Amino acid sequence: MQPPLLIYNSLTRQKEVFKPLSPPFVGLYLCGPTVYGKAHLGHARSAIAFDVVVRYLRQLDYKVRFVRNITDVGHLERDLDEGEDKVAKQARLEEVSPMEVAQRYTNSYRKNMEMLNVLPPSIEPCASGHIPEQIEMITSIIQKGLAYLVDGSVYFDVVKYNQVGHTYGLLSGRILSEMRVGTRALSGQEVKKNAADFALWKKATPSHIMRWPSPWGEGFPGWHIECTAIGSKYLGAQFDIHAGGLDLLFPHHECEIAQAQAACATNLATYWMHNNLVTIDGAKMGKSLGNFITLDEFFEGNHPSLDQPYSPMALRFCMLQTHYRSTLSFSLDAVKAAHQGYRKLMNGWYILCKLQQDGAVEEKGGIDDSIYAECAACYSAMNDDFNTAKVLASLYHLLKKINGLYYGTLAYAAISKSALHTLTTTYTTFLIDILGFKEDHQATFADGVEVILTLYKKAKAENGYDQVESIRSALRKMGVAIKDHHSGASWEYLS
RNA sequence: GGUCACGUGGCCGAGAGGCUAGGCAGAGGUCUGCAAAACCUCGUACGGUGGUUCGAAUCCACUCGUGACCUCCA
């Protein structure tokens, strides 16, 4: 009997038992990228963290509808009237059309995600494809009297929202009256009634390319309305999980809740989940700080912080070794360690696949109990707010048993057939299906090594040690180790 | 200034009042023709100062340090 699944809810600031609104269905919305630049390590963290959440929920037999949006319009440089749309700005810099920019970086993002073995969303809507939905929601908020029109732009009235019984700031723990106001000279703020008000719709200036007709004139939607409109369209006015990076908690998610309360009288989602940030040299890795490493740079080794290319799975391991709500301090040493750790787990999986089922005994073996305990620990760890770090620890405990059986330091008599079966399915389920690891290397390479291994075995049998040594060193240069052990010779990846 | 986190062995990191994860790197050993891989063993860490307690890395207070959000950012 496993403990129930607990999820830390940012809204209540505590772990809560996960209860979907309509089991077995689960609706999960994740704030996707604004496609005006290449994805960096921070994007990967969010994607991987919630990829594992989706994978685990599916493992628990939930039917998950996973929606991850693409922001291709409305995300301004600053939340200011004169702030330039991010996508439009990049288009100007690259001298292409905004939709070209959006397409380019959407493609790049999807490619990166595929490399990281992040499962594609069930639905991947873009903001520009949902203008009518957003206009509809804005209209509804205006009708409730919680938004006002100024010169072709529509703003959400935060003060009014509080006056009619809502509480702005529930998610971020902010109290409206105590929020810092007016300490920075933000131009363009004077059109708003209050500094905390945010744009639902912006009037397009004559030069603005991305524009749509609306009841308030030509313009484009504000950033926050997109997620609320899209989320409620595909998952319902109230759905189970809304996820995103911690830096989106305020103001983005706070505004989303306000919009949903105003339009639909819901908090939009029951559980609000936030992944923590990636830091480098003690500071947050962020777009605006310019200290980020893009995923392409990471995979190509093309960055001053990196000495060589690193694999997508090394990064995935890095991410999963840390709990998603803790900051992840990125360093070269950490990546190197992660890659080695990943390699060992994968090599263990191949060995596990080779372990002969018929070697195990029918009766209970000496290590059965510890196998069952570690397998159960994997589930317990995931049920405790997706503690992937703990899962990895358990997998390493299992790995020692796997290696021991294969290399002969543990006798087959130590494990029963049923325990070996549990070991095999659990290890595979967690490593491959839930944590989402896959082989970095090409399968065709492995076929070639198999041929060479045959030559090695022949030379070895004939005591041709010169040839044995030369095959070993040649393969070693290719990142492959040959291993001699009681059950013969085999090979595995070294890096 | 407000709000909130965090500080764990060389590095990355779980944990969270007694049973003191795990990975990487390092040392020793077993195995091996020699290696490699694997396995075994080892380092006894929790910013500082007080306090609560039979007992604290874990709770409390103070303190030092770092960071996040309050402006776009996964």
Q: Give this complex's ipTM.
A: 0.95
Which nucleotide is at minimal CA–C1' distance from A407? B38
Residues 6 or more apart from A402 whose CB is under 8 A from it? A348, A351, A352, A355, A423, A427
- Other beta carbons less than 10 A from residue A65's beta carbon: 19
Q: For position A186, what pLDDT does the model report? A: 44
Does the CB of A396 fall within 7 Å of any strand B atom? yes
- pLDDT tier for residue A184 given thresholds of 50, 70 and 90: very low
For A95-132, how does the pLDDT look when each residue is reduced to its tens digit (9 = 90+)? 788 888 899 999 999 999 999 999 999 999 999 999 99
Does the CB of A223 fall within 7 Å of any strand B atom? yes
Does the CB of A285 fall within 7 Å of any strand B atom? yes
Q: Are A342 and A316 in contact (CB under 8 A)?
A: yes
pTM of the model: 0.95
Q: CA-to-C1' distance for A345 and B10, Å?
A: 24
Which nucleotide is at minimal CA–C1' distance from A276? B74
Does the CB of A350 fall within 7 Å of any strand B atom? no
Domains of chain A are 6-275 (3.40.50.620), 283-434 (1.10.730), 443-493 (no CATH)
Alpha helices, DSSP H, located in A1-85: 41-59
Does the CB of A459 fall within 7 Å of any strand B atom? no
Give SS3 for A11: coil
Does the CB of A481 fall within 7 Å of any strand B atom? yes
Does the CB of A79 fall within 7 Å of any strand B atom? yes
Does the CB of A404 fall within 7 Å of any strand B atom? yes
Q: Which of residues 130-189 of A touch strand B (CB under 7 A)?
A: 172-174, 178-180, 184
Output the CA–CA distances (angstroms, integers) from residue A298 to A25, A213, A284, A288, A455, in the order listed.
36, 42, 17, 19, 37
Q: HSE-up of A305 (CA within 13 Å, CB side)?
A: 20
Nearest residue for B13, CA–C1': A322
What are A65's strand-pairing partners? Answer: A27
For A11-52, how does the pLDDT look when each residue is reduced to its tens digit (9 = 90+)? 999 999 999 999 999 999 999 999 989 999 999 999 999 999
Q: Residue A443: is its pLDDT beyond 60?
A: yes
Does the CB of A400 fall within 7 Å of any strand B atom? yes
Q: Residue A61: is its pLDDT beyond 80?
A: yes
Between A91 and A404, where is the model more confident? A404
For A325-371, how does the pLDDT look when each residue is reduced to its tens digit (9 = 90+)? 999 999 999 999 999 999 999 999 999 998 876 678 888 989 999 99
